[in-house]
Amino acid sequence: MSKTCYYEILAVSKTASEGEIKKAYRKMAMKYHPDRNPDDAEAENKFKEASEAYEVLSDAQKRATYDQFGHAGLEGGGGRHGGGGFGGFGDQFGDIFSEMFGGGFGGARGPQPGDDLQYELEVSLEDAVAGTTVDIRIPTKDLCDACDGSGAEPGSDVETCPTCHGAGQVRMQQGFFAVNRTCPTCHGQGQIIKTPCKACHGEGYTHSNKTLSVKIPAGVDNGDRIRIQGEGEAGEAGAPKGDLYVRIRVKKHSIFERDGNTLYCELPLSFATAALGGSVEVPTLGGQANLKIPAGTQSGQRFKMAGKGVKSVRSSYTGDLIVQVNIETPVKLTARQKELLQEFDESLKGKHHKQHSPKEHSFFDSVKSFFTGDEDDKSKKDKDEPWN
């Protein structure tokens, strides 16, 4: 039909991906579909052009032929011009128009499975790491026992839908194009209920609550989902239930922060222990553990405690605990304590001051060099100093 370049019709480049071509066609089909433009010959022609272009460009073999030989390459067969028409039209376009118009090119709609449910479960960090079992209460929707899900009062008559004749869908056709839609009269059920069931008011379902025990595996983290098959909402009669997805949310912990399988914590450390070194007790999720502090430890320094983190939920790997020490400055000192600290500070001064406080020395030398312009001399001097 059309001799216009198929890529120009869909407004895509010749290097466009399959997804880009499909997206472009869907946009044009939505705009120019005959159902949306009744009695508009120009819109119908544009729709047919877009459909023709999509039929060729969505088929890898036809597209390769078209790219090499143009329209002439499709004249002999395999394209629309070869007399084959839209023989494979349903397979080619069904998914797109099912999305657009709520129907497809198939037959009657079968029983629909139940919807999936999602439940957000908040757990402590300890339970997330160690694993646990939690009882949860969820709303449930089950087929009505009184009417077996039909929605009709037991013993009452159910009519076949006069609009779709029980198919649940009606076929809409204009020109060469046809698509099935859900029947507006029976809403896809294929039947009309004369007397609704008193127990479920014609819905076919009953609503209640139930309690489930959910096993939380060790190592779960924020955003992880646990699937419980068949615990979602009931489907239509003859269809399976949906699934229940339990989404994990881990509470904020007062001591630990978690990043994947690694735990972090901050440890307040006294000035004396940081200077002299020693052994301190560190909290872990498995109890107290000893951490060796080397003499001269600086505030902000980190220590790794291997294997004290979180065991992965997907493997046997166990992460680490990273402990960051923060040296605590003494407060509310007595007069004698202040006197001792002053004596101690004085003892650090003198010709060996640079050895006791190398960072302080380096900092103030840098400040001095910055203002005097002696940065190069300072850098050369530092290389010769044994404490750097």
pLDDT of residue 70: 80
Does residue 144 belong to any structural domain of this protein?
Answer: yes
Classify residue 220 by burial, with Cβ atoms within 10 Å: 0-12, 13-18, 19+.
Answer: buried
At 301-342, the pLDDT tens digits run 999 999 999 999 988 899 999 999 999 998 999 999 999 989
Same domain, 231 and 319: no
pLDDT of residue 257: 96
Which of 101, 136, 160 is the C-terminal boundary of a domain? 101
Of residues 193 and 281, more confidently modeled: 281
Same domain, 16 and 77: yes
Q: Residue 322's CB: how many other CB atoms inside 10 A?
A: 18
Same domain, 177 and 199: yes
Name beta bridge partners: 129.
none
Residues 6+ apart with CB under 8 A from 386: none
Q: pTM value?
A: 0.56
Number of domains in the chain: 4
The domain in which residue 159 lies consists of 117-250
Using the predicted structure, report yes or no on whether residue 229 has a pLDDT greater than 80: yes
Which of 221, 250, 279 is the C-terminal boundary of a domain? 250
Of residues 236 and 91, more confidently modeled: 236
Classify residue 37 by burial, with Cβ atoms within 10 Å: 0-12, 13-18, 19+.
Answer: middle
Using the predicted structure, report yes or no on whether residue 239 has a pLDDT greater than 70: yes
Percent of the chain, pLDDT > 70?
78
Q: Average pLDDT in the 176-196 region?
A: 78
Q: Which of 212, 284, 218 is nearest to 250 (CA)?
A: 218
Q: Of the ranges 152-156, 241-245, 305-309, which one carries the lowest mean pLDDT score?
A: 152-156
Does residue 160 belong to any structural domain of this protein?
Answer: yes
Of residues 382 and 224, more confidently modeled: 224
